[in-house]
Structure 1
Amino acid sequence: MTTHFITAEIDLQENPADLPKEIEAELEKRGDVLRWAITEVEENTAKVEAIALTPED
């Protein structure tokens, strides 16, 4: 397994309770997420940074 630092931009939802699920769904596409944090919010977009594991090639 290899660790990767990844970033993503997530559109903010009308219902803030849905935001963690939306973030996790997007990050899971890129690997097995160890942790994530919202690091910046602009208008209707949240910037998320995460550490993820991916299988070695």
Structure 2
Amino acid sequence: MTTHFITAEIDLQETPTELQKAIEVELKKHGEPLRWAVTSTDVKQQSCTVEAVVTTES
């Protein structure tokens, strides 16, 4: 098992629940998320930056 630190840009959603689902879907593309956090938002671009630690099988 290998851990990776990733950064992803996610479009803001209508509700917090939809945003959480969009983040989880994006992170699953890179592995199994251990933890993640929204670290910044850009209201003009309607996006947010997420930093996460994910694991993948070696």
Partner of 1:5: 5
Q: Which runs of 4+ in 1 moved over 6 A?
A: none
- TM value normalised by structure 1: 0.91
**Which whole-Å CA distance do the structure 1 matches of 2:6 and 2:37 have between them?**
11
- TM value normalised by structure 2: 0.90
- The gaps in structure 1 that reach 5 residues or longer are none
2:23 is aligned with 1:23:
yes
Partner of 1:49: 51
- The gaps in structure 2 that reach 5 residues or longer are none
CA deviations on 1:9-55 (whole Å, 9 max, x unpaired) are 00001223211111001100100110000000012101000000011
